[in-house]
Amino acid sequence: QKEVEQNSGPLSVPEGAIASLNCTYSDRGSQSFFWYRQYSGKSPELIMFIYSNGDKEDGRFTAQLNKASQYVSLLIRDSQPSDSATYLCAVRGPDSWGKFQFGAGTQVVVTP
């Protein structure tokens, strides 16, 4: 079992719709959760992070965390063609020096 799991996609989303991405993790002691966006041929860039159960909103992005169920999700509202990218879920281990573990990523394609 991989430590961080994501659906590979591609997830096809009409422009203006909501894209919903999910991620599950195996280490129940994980404390920090991140979403990175990676455009084709580019490096990953941080778009959201969340530490506490519940929702965290930043512009069109909302991260949701449920530690009891060990999943974290990302919602992209009003999806734009520029949101077309691979979204990587990352989880950091329980201690202060916990290692970042990445999922394989979900490819999102926003169609005009």
97 sits near other proteins (criterion: CB under 8 A):
yes
Instruction: Please answer whether residues 75 and 59 qualify as being in contact, where contact means their C-beta atoms are separated by less than 8 angstroms.
Output: no
Q: What SS3 state is found at 82?
A: helix
Quick note: the x/- pattern for other proteins over 8-47, rule CB under 8 A, is ------------------------x-x-------xxxxx-
49 sits near other proteins (criterion: CB under 8 A):
yes
List the beta bridge partners of residue 108.
Answer: 11, 85
Q: What SS3 state is found at 83?
A: helix
In the complex, what is the shortest distance from the CB of residue 102 to other proteins, in angstroms, rounded to a whole number?
4
Pick from 57, 77, 58, 74: nearest CA to 66: 74
* One residue of 47, 63, 65, 88 binding other proteins per CB under 8 A: 88
For other proteins, the binding residues (CB under 8 A) are: 32, 34, 42-46, 49, 51, 88, 90, 92, 97, 99-105
